[in-house]
Amino acid sequence: MNTRSAIGRRRAAVFVVVATMLLATAPTQVSAAAPAAHRDDTQRWTVVPSSPTGPSGRKQFDYELNAKEAITDWISVSNLGDKPLTVDLYATDAFTAADGGFALLPRDRKPDGVGSWVKLPKASTTLPVGKRSDMPFTLSVPAGAAPGDHIGGIIASITEEQVNEKGQRVNVERRVAARIYLRVAGPLTPLAAVTGVEVDYETPIVPLPGGKMAVTYRVANHGNVRLSGTVRVGVDGPLGIRLAGSDTINVAELLPDSELRLRQEFSSVFPAGRLTTTVDFNPSTNREALPSVSGTAGTTAVPWLILALLLAVLVLVCYRIMVLRARRRPAPTFLDEPGTAAVPAARMAP
């Protein structure tokens, strides 16, 4: 997958209602083995990795295959509701959602990755109350598949008509999915980056306790394997004095060719002059830790009130010095004019 196609998928996903119906607790995320959540509990179902004899206890599909290699596996769809249910079945590609969650392309977006390599035995299945359907599928890696991780999911969904806030009737797709993690053999190039660091600082009139600062940045995966890791944001003043720092921020999963936009806010950063903000990302693959990467940005925060007070003190000190020097200066001596002599005052006789 390239950057342009990934961005296009994210834009498309924003405008699709189905992406908001995946789970009640995380609308844009998909969780394997979790029943669909909805206000109507009569329709609940799951789709999980399975075997010819039923669910195998796996939480997701994990494969390591070569190009031109194929594998057969099983999925299980269960009706947990109290009335018969017909679900549609299809596979698609995954991407990292704006909130960092695992998300799948909307149905009207054609996959070009692992989702297009999955062949299901049928497009839908009808399940009686409390029943389960176990079915095989094939995953065939094409000859030109790029090495690295390819992530997607097998979706079981239903579409129903609802009335939106404007009173319009719309078709809403409710989906649950089993995740697919496929690693195609070949050179692996994990590559993380911190980009787009921007700082917005509100200089306070009174410098203590400090001004508000907002730091926005992007954690990007430019490699071909999925990443996770931790992020920390720090703000330093002159001489490297630490003025603010964030708690550890966990990045659970960042898929290849994806990025996550984050924001960190600080409530009281002292306006110490030149402020340097550093974002450190400590990435790792599912097998090893990677070298830390960083991004920086600077801004100037002038403590105007303190400067004004210092200037006032400086003026007073200078004035005081001038006054003291004037007082220590000797009094001027006046001399008689040339050609004149002093005449002593005459005394009067007693």
Same domain, 75 and 174: yes
- pLDDT value for 17: 33
89 touches 74 (CB < 8 A): no
Considering the domain architecture, whether residues 196 and 76 belong to the same structural domain is answered as: no
Q: Helix (H, G, I), strand (E, B), or coil: what is residue 181?
A: strand
Among 259, 261, 255, residue whose Cα is nearest residue 104: 255
**Residue 94 falls inside a structural domain:** yes
Same domain, 113 and 199: no
Is the same domain home to 286 and 213?
A: yes
pLDDT tens readout for residues 228-276: 999 999 999 999 999 999 999 999 999 999 999 999 999 999 998 899 9
Cβ atoms of 31 and 60 within 8 Å: the answer is: no
Domain boundary among 165, 184, 203: 184
17 shares its domain with 156: yes
What is the CATH number for 258? 2.60.40.10
* Residue 21 sits in the same domain as residue 148: yes
Report yes or no on 25 lying in a domain: yes
Task: Collect contacts of 205-210 with beta carbons under 8 A, ≥24 apart.
Answer: 205/304, 205/305, 206/305, 207/270, 207/271, 207/303, 207/305, 207/306, 208/270, 209/268, 209/270, 210/243, 210/267, 210/268, 210/269, 210/270, 210/271
Question: What is d(CA 307, CA 41) in angstroms, rounded to the nearest whole number?
Answer: 65
Residue 158 lies in a domain: yes
Question: Do residues 251 and 209 touch, judged by C-beta distance below 8 A?
Answer: no
**Six token digits for residue 34:** 């979790």
Question: Are 226 and 296 members of one domain?
Answer: yes
CA distance 162 to 169: 6
Q: Which pLDDT belongs to residue 7?
A: 38
Task: Judge whether 42 lies within some domain.
Answer: yes
Q: What is the pLDDT of residue 164?
A: 82
E strands present in 285-332: 293-301
Q: Is residue 308 classed as helix, strand or coil in its secondary structure?
A: helix
Q: Would 213 be classed as within a structural domain?
A: yes
Residue 50, classed as helix, strand or coil, is strand
Q: Is residue 76 situated within a structural domain?
A: yes
Instruction: Say if 250 falls within a structural domain.
Output: yes
Number of folded domains that form the chain: 2
pLDDT per 10-residue tile (average), the chain, 350 residues:
40 36 35 43 89 93 98 97 95 94 95 97 96 97 97 95 84 94 97 97 84 96 97 95 96 95 94 94 95 96 66 76 77 58 53
Domain residues for 38? 3-184
User: Is 162 part of any domain?
Assistant: yes
pTM over the 0.85 mark: no
User: Does 42 share its domain with 159?
Assistant: yes
